Amino acid sequence: MAAAARPVSPAASLTSAGGTLVHVRVTVNGQPVVAEVEPRTLLVHFLREVLGLTGTHIGCDTTNCGACTVHLDGKPVKSCTVLAVQTDGRDVRTVEGLEVGGKLSPIQEAFVECHGLQCGFCTPGMMMTATALLARNPNPTEDEVRDAIRGNLCRCTGYVNIVKAIQLAGQKMQTTAAGAGGKP
Amino acid sequence: MSVGAPHVQGGIGQSIRRKEDARFIRGKGNYIDDVKMPGMLYLDITRSPYAHAKITAIRTERALKVPGVLAVITGKDLEAAGLAWMPTLMSDKQMVLPTDTVMYQAQEVAAVVADSRYAAADGAAAVEVDYEPLPVVTNPFKALEPGAPVIRTDRKEQSNHIWHWETGDKAGTDQLLTSSPVRVAQDLYIPRIHVSSMETCGCVAHLDSISGRFTIYMTTQAPHAIRTVLALVAGLPEQNIRVISPDIGGGFGGKVPVYPGYVLAAVAAIKTGHPVKWIEDRSENLQADSFARDYHIHAEVGATSDGKVTALKVKTLADHGYTDAAANPSKFPAGLFHIITGSYPFSKAFVEVDAAYTNKPPGGIAYRCSFRVTEAVYTIERMMDILAHRLKIDPAELRLKNFIPPEAFPYASALGWTYDSGNYAGALQKAMQIIDYAGLRREQAEKRRRGELMGIGISSFTEIVGAGPSSTFDILGIKMFDAAEVRIHPTGKVLARFGTKSQGQGHETTYAQILAEELGIPADDIRVEEGDTDTAPYGLGTYASRSTPTAGAAASMAARKIRDKAQKIAAHLLEVSPDDIEWKDYAFRVKGVPTKSKTMQEVAFAAYTNHPQGMEAGLEAVDYYDPPNMTYPFGSYICVVDIDKETGQVKVRRFVAVDDCGTIINPMIVDGQIHGGLTMGFAPALLEEIQYDENGNVRGGSFVDYLLPTAVETPRWETAKTVTPSPHHPIGAKGVGESATVGAPPAIVNAIVDALQPYGVEHIDIPVHPWKVWQILHAAESKAK
C-alpha cells in the first residue's frame, strides 16, 4: 500500500546550473520520495540537503569514520560512499527513522541510560550500525559489539559506554519481543 | 542516599541522565553544517600543494566560468582591505590568504564562493596557481642552524628562532644536579598530533546590510573572545556582532583558534551580502588546522642514592610551524609546561624552551589538555621510571618514597605554582590494590623466566587546570574569569546562562546540578544555555578543563547571591528577622523551628508577587568568577601490556585509572570524561602522529593514514576515584575533562619499556608502533646469533 510519493524539488545547494538531472524514487524512513538529482550527488548530501534529514553527519572524506551510516535495504552503509542514484527503488532508513510513533527505539534509550554519547556527532551513525548488528545478533558479546562498530569512530567516549549501551539495547529488544509474545 | 535524608532531584553527586541527549539521539542536534539560512552561499578553498613556494600567478578565469560560481577571493583582494594577515593569540601573525608566498602544504591560497556546495568545490579545483618552489625546512633543529632558509622573511629578525622562555633557578639547579649522587638524562620527542574532533570546523557568516548586524555561527569553544577580537581587528561595532556557537561535535582545543576559513566566509558574506557557509573536509582539517605537541625535550633528574629526587632541568625545542598561533594565556608562551615537577618535591628546577618556525601549519594548540600539561606530565613520569630503573627500585616504591605528602598542601612548587590539595599516595595505593600490583609483579617475574614480554607501567600525574586567576591569566588582555547568570522565574523554574561552551562535556546537565544543589530546585526545572553572545554573560569559553573551576564556581556564587536576597524574602513571608532564618536541607528555615520553612520556589513566587516593600522585585544574579588559584587534579594510572615477540605488537591487557578531581558533580559524566580522555591518551602513545617528509609533504593527512583508535584497539578501561576537594573552589570541584589524556601516555610507555627491560631499553618515543618494538627485538636477536 504505497503512500503518495512526496515530490522534492532539487536542492539549490547541490545542483549547479546546466548540470544533468536524474530522477530518483526512494523510500526514506517509510516515506516514498521522488527527486531530481545530479548523478554525482552523494546519498549523505541528498539526505541532509534535499530531504533536510540532518541527523546523518559527515565526519571524514575517506569512508573511515562512519558518522554517515544509514541503512540501505536494512544493511548499514556509509552514505558518503553511496550515490543518491544508487538508491533508486530502494529503502533507506536514517536516525530520524529510529523513533516510531513517539516511542524511542531500544538503542536510543540505551545510549541515554548508559551515557553512550557525549558530543553526539558520531551517535546517529553508531546507533544505525548497532541497530543492524542487533537485528542479526540480538545478544552479542562485548568482542562482537566492538568488532561490529570498528567502522564507526568516536572521539569522546572511549567506546566503553557505547558497548554497554548496545548490549543493553539487545536485552531490551529481547524483553520487548518476549513480552509481545514474539520469538525470544 | 539514606531514606528520609534531605534530597533535591539532580543535586551534586547524582548520576542523572543528560539533558542534551534528547536531541542528539534523535538526530536533532544543531551542528554547524545543519545551520541553513535563506539565500545562503557556499565557500570552498584552493590549497597549496607545496610546503614553501613563491606564488607567481593566480588565474581565476576558469573558476569564474564554472556554473554557479560567483566570486573568487585571493590574497591580493584581502591585502587591499588590510586583511591578508591576522593576529594570533601569541602576538604573531597568520596569513588569511598569501599575497606572495605559501609556507606549508595545504595552506589556503584562494577562496571560491558559489551558489551550491558542489559548484564551490568545482570552482576551487578550477583556480590555477603557478608556484616557484622554495627550500623547505621541517626539522626545527635544522631551522635554527646558521644558513637555514628563513621562512618568515616578513619579520625584521630574519631568523627562524621565535622566542626563548625560561623559568626557575638555573644556577641552583645546576649546583644541586652536580652534587646529586645519581643523575639520569633522556631525550624525549612528543610528535605532532591532531585533535580530530568528529565534527570538522566551519561557519555561516551573514551581514545584514540595513541594520549593520553581523552574525556568525561558528565552531568555536570561546564565542565571546571571538566577538571581541572581531570588534578589535575588523573594527565592527561590538553591539552589532553576534557569535553563535551551536552544538559542537567535539573540540579538544582544535576549535579555539581562528582559522582563515572563518575569516574568508566573513569577508565573502560582507562582499556578497548573502549568508556564506564554509565547512572543512576532514583532509583539510587534518592538514591545515592547528596541531598539538611537537616538543623535543631533553630532561635531567638528580636524586640521592636512596632515590629521593633533588633537581630537575629541562631544555626543550618547540616546533610551532610557520607562525606562533599557539592557544596559550598571553603570559605563557610555553603554556603551563612548568608544572613539570609533577607530584614530587624537587627543591630546585629550571626549564627553558626555545620556539622555532618550520614549514608546517601552526602548532601549539591543546589536544584535550591544559596548555602543555601533557608534555610536562609525560616528561616527569617517564623520568621517574628511568630513575627507578637506574636505581633498581620498583617504580611504585620510588614514587611512594617521593610524593609530596598530603599534609604539605597548599604546596609551593620549585617553579612557582601553589598546588591546592592532593593525596598522591592515596591514589597510587588504591590503583595498586585494584590491579593487584604485587600479584602482577610475580606474574611478570614468572613470564620473564619463560621469555615472555609483559610490562607494568605507572603514571602518578598532577595537572594544573581552571585558568585562571586574573593576576596572571589573560588572553589578549582579557582576564580569564568566567560567568554565570541565573534567573529564577515566578513559578520557581530557572534559566541559567554561561560564558563557557560545551562541546560534549554535558554542561547543560552539570551546571543544572550545581544550581540544584545550591538552590534546592530540581535539576529538571533548570534550563542551561551557552554559546550565544547576545544572551550569555561574557566568559572566556571552554578549554583547559576550565568550565567547572570557573563557570561552575560562578554558578555557585550566583546562586548564593540569590540565596542572600531570597533569605530576606523568606523572612518577610515567615514574619521573622532575616537573622533568624537559615538555609538548611534545601529550604529557608526558622532557626530552632525547622518545620517553619519556605522553599526557594515559594520565595521565587513571592519575589514577583509579594516582595517586601522597598526591595527590588525579581530573583536573579550574575557572577563573574575570578578564581583565586588554579586547581590541581591528580591521579595514578597503572597499565599492563603484553608484547607479541614475533610482531612487536603491544596489547594493553589492563588499565586501571584512579582519578581525583575533587568533588564529583555527576559520577556518570565524570567516568565518561575519563573513558574518553584515556582513549585520547592511548591514541598518541600507540597510534597517532602527523609526520612530514623533507619536502614538507604531510603524511597522515586523512583518516586512512592518521589512525584514530577504534573500539577494537581501545582497552577496556577500569576507573576508580579518590576525592580530595579543592579548598578554594565553592563546591570543591577541580575539573576532569583532560586528566586522563594527560595521565595515560606515560603509563602506557612505562609499561612497554618495563616489558622490554630484558633488552636494556630505557626509552621509546611515541607512538610506539609495532615496527619500533620489532626493531628492538630483532636487533637483539641478530646480536645473539
- Report chain B residues whose CB lies below 8 A from the CB of A142: 716
- Rounded distance, CA B499 to CA B538, Å? 5
Cβ–Cβ of A58/B68 closer than 8 Å? Answer: no
Mean pLDDT, residues A10-21 taken together = 63
Q: What are the pLDDT digits (tens) for B90-119?
A: 999 999 999 999 999 999 999 999 999 999
Judge whether residue B295 has pLDDT over 90.
Answer: yes
Q: Which amino acid is at B353?
A: V
Which domains, from first to last, does chain A contain? 6-96 (3.10.20.30), 106-179 (1.10.150.120)
- Rounded distance, CA A143 to CA A140, Å? 8
Considering CB atoms only, which of B198, B281, B506 is closest to A61? Answer: B281
Distance of CA B40 to the CA centre of its chain: 32
Rounded to the nearest angstrom, the minimum Cα separation between B194 and chain A is: 12
pLDDT grade for B6, boundaries at 50, 70 and 90: confident
**Mean confidence (pLDDT) of chain A:** 91
| Nearest alpha-carbon partner for A30 in A127, A100, A131, A104 | A100
| Nearest alpha-carbon partner for B108 in B118, B95, B119 | B95
Q: Mutate which of A60, A96, A98, A162 to disrupt the B interface (most B C-beta within 10 Å)?
A: A60
Judge whether residue B456 has pLDDT over 90.
Answer: yes
**Mean confidence (pLDDT) of chain B:** 97
Cβ–Cβ of B704/A19 closer than 8 Å? Answer: no
Query: For cell 625535550, what's the residue?
Result: B297
| Nearest alpha-carbon partner for B639 in B710, B712, B722, B717 | B717
**Grid cell in block for residue B229:** 577580537
Q: By CA distance, what is A104's nearest residue in B?
A: B26
Q: By CA distance, what is B707's nearest residue in A?
A: A64
B771 touches chain A (CB under 8 A): no
Mean pLDDT, residues A75-100 taken together = 98
Strands (E), chain A: 6-8, 22-28, 31-37, 69-72, 75-78, 91-93
Which domains, from first to last, does chain B contain? 21-28+482-625 (3.30.365.10), 32-134+200-248+255-288 (3.90.1170.50), 295-467+629-784 (3.30.365.10)
pLDDT for A63 equals: 97
A46 touches chain B (CB under 8 A): no
Q: By CA distance, what is A111's nearest residue in B?
A: B25
CA dihedral (B57, B62, B66, B70) positive or negative: positive
What are the residues whose beta carbons fall under 8 Å from the beta carbon of A68, sequence distance 6 or more?
A44, A56, A57, A58, A59, A78, A79, A80, A125
User: How many CB atoms are closer than 10 A to CB B359?
Assistant: 27
Judge whether residue B737 has pLDDT over 90.
Answer: yes
Q: What are the pLDDT digits (tens) for B655-714?
A: 999 999 999 999 999 999 999 999 999 999 999 999 999 999 999 899 999 999 999 999
Using a pLDDT cut of 70, give the percent of chain B over it.
Answer: 99
Q: What are the pLDDT digits (tens) for B614-669?
A: 999 999 999 999 999 999 999 999 999 999 999 999 999 999 999 999 999 999 99
B714 touches chain A (CB under 8 A): yes
DSSP B208-228: ETTTTEEEEEE--S-HHHHHH
pLDDT for B233 equals: 85
Higher pLDDT, residue B394 or A174: B394
Judge whether residue A10 has pLDDT over 60.
Answer: no
Residue B230 and residue B325 in contact, taking contact as beta carbons nearer than 8 Å: no
Considering CB atoms only, which of A123, A127, A149 is closest to B711? Answer: A149
Paired with B166 in beta bridges are B352
Q: What are the pLDDT digits (tens) for B224-247?
A: 999 999 999 888 999 999 999 999
- Rounded distance, CA B35 to CA B409, Å? 49
**Grid cell in block for residue B129:** 596557481
Q: What are the pLDDT digits (tens) for B160-180?
A: 999 999 999 999 999 999 999
Higher pLDDT, residue B430 or A19: B430
pLDDT for B475 equals: 92
Q: By CA distance, what is A151's nearest residue in B?
A: B710
Judge whether residue B446 has pLDDT over 70.
Answer: yes
B672 touches chain A (CB under 8 A): yes
Q: What are the pLDDT digits (tens) for A122-142?
A: 999 999 999 999 999 999 999
Judge whether residue A13 has pLDDT over 90.
Answer: no
- Rounded distance, CA B215 to CA B26, Å? 27
pLDDT for A7 equals: 60
- Report chain A residues whose CB lies below 8 A from the CB of B669: 115
- Rounded distance, CA A179 to CA B687, Å? 46
Judge whether residue B202 has pLDDT over 70.
Answer: yes
Q: What are the pLDDT digits (tens) for B479-519?
A: 999 999 999 999 999 999 999 999 999 999 999 999 999 99
Mean pLDDT, residues A4-20 taken together = 60
Q: What angle do CA B272, B277, B280 make, to 5 degrees?
A: 135
Distance of CA B201 to the CA centre of its chain: 16
pLDDT for B553 equals: 98
A35 touches chain B (CB under 8 A): no
Q: Model's pTM, two decimal places?
A: 0.97
Strand order across the beta sheet in which B53-59 lies: B101-102, B53-59, B128-133
Using a pLDDT cut of 90, give the percent of chain B over it.
Answer: 97
Mean pLDDT, residues B386-410 taken together = 98
pLDDT for A12 equals: 53
pLDDT grade for A37, boundaries at 50, 70 and 90: very high
Considering CB atoms only, which of A12, A108, A158 is closest to B25? Answer: A108
Question: HEC states along B158-200?
Answer: CCCEEEEEEEECHHHHHHHHHHCCEEEEEEEEECCECCCCCCC
pLDDT for A182 equals: 46
Mean pLDDT, residues B399-411 taken together = 98
Q: Which amino acids of B are annotated catalytic?
A: 221, 368-369, 738
Pairing of strands B128-133, B182-190: unpaired
B47 touches chain A (CB under 8 A): no
Interface of A with B in 124-183 (CB under 8 A): 124, 127, 142, 145-147, 149-163
B271 touches chain A (CB under 8 A): no
Judge whether residue A76 has pLDDT over 80.
Answer: yes
pLDDT for A1 equals: 37
pLDDT grade for A4, boundaries at 50, 70 and 90: low
- Rounded distance, CA B89 to CA B234, Å? 15
Cβ–Cβ of B199/A150 closer than 8 Å? Answer: no
- Rounded distance, CA B460 to CA B475, Å? 30
User: How many CB atoms are closer than 10 A to CB B91?
Assistant: 11
pLDDT for B713 equals: 95
Judge whether residue B420 has pLDDT over 60.
Answer: yes
Interface of B with A in 7-26 (CB under 8 A): 17-18, 20-26
Cβ–Cβ of A14/B503 closer than 8 Å? Answer: no
